[in-house]
Structures are given as C-alpha cells and as structure tokens.
Amino acid sequence: MSRITIRTRNSEYTAELDRSDISNEIWLSLPLKADINMLGSQLYFSMPLESKTVGDATVLEVGDIAYWPKADAFCIFFGPTPLSGDDGKPVSAFPVKVIGRVIGDCSSMEHAGDRMPIRLERSF
C-alpha cells in the first residue's frame, strides 16, 4: 500500500492506495493541487492519466477512493450520494475503479467546499 496525504482548506486526511498500476501512476504524479467538485457526499477533481483502467464499481463504502476513467477524475466518497439507498452507501452514477481508502473518519470533507483547493501529497 502507498500512503498519501489529502489536504483541504480545513482538514488533513491520510489515505492508502492499493498496489494497482493506476495507484502507482497517481502516487508518482504527486504532489498535485486541484479544485474540488462536490456532488452530494462525493468530491472529485480532474486527474488525467495514461491508464487504460475501466470502472467496475457503482456501489461503494464511505471512505473509498476511486478513479473515474470516463471523466479522468480522482474521487473520494465520504458519505451518501444523491443515488444512495436506505443503507447510506455511496452510489456513483458512473462506474469507477476503487483504488484506495481514507483512513479514519472523513465525514468532515463535506466542509472542503465546492471549487475550493485540494492538495494530494506522497506520505511515507
């Protein structure tokens, strides 16, 4: 597992990426600063990669980190999304590839703010 630090305007989070090729490509491309897009309790931002990854998941767990291939976007699911059912599990409108997970509580990401900066950095 590769660790990363996620910094928003009001918090810092530690996350682990799996050992997939796309995770390695992301980790090697860091640091990265981008502007957040918020959709329910999901944040995402552009991260174009060379990967040929195909999305295979639409139902996720709170804290999942995924790559959205069709939009070239890095996504973090920190709570229910507009498509979530009664169980509260995040549901993506488009297939994503789960590549990691935020360690610990990430519910405060709701305060990160739409169109606000986010920074990803390597952690050791």
50 contacts: CB under 8 Å, gap ≥ 6: 25
Query: Is residue 117 within 8 Å of residue 46, measured between CB atoms?
Result: no
Average pLDDT, integer, range 1-13: 96
Q: What's the whole-model pTM score?
A: 0.94
CA angle, residues 63, 124, 77, in degrees to nearest 5: 10
- The pLDDT tens digits of the residues spanning 32-77 come to 999 999 998 999 999 988 888 899 999 999 999 999 999 999 999 9
58 contacts: CB under 8 Å, gap ≥ 6: 91, 92, 93, 94, 95, 96
Its CATH architecture, for the domain 2-123, is Beta Barrel (2.40)
Domains in the chain: boundaries: 2-123
- The pLDDT tens digits of the residues spanning 66-109 come to 999 999 999 999 999 988 989 989 999 999 999 999 999 999 99
57 contacts: CB under 8 Å, gap ≥ 6: 66, 92, 95, 96, 97, 98
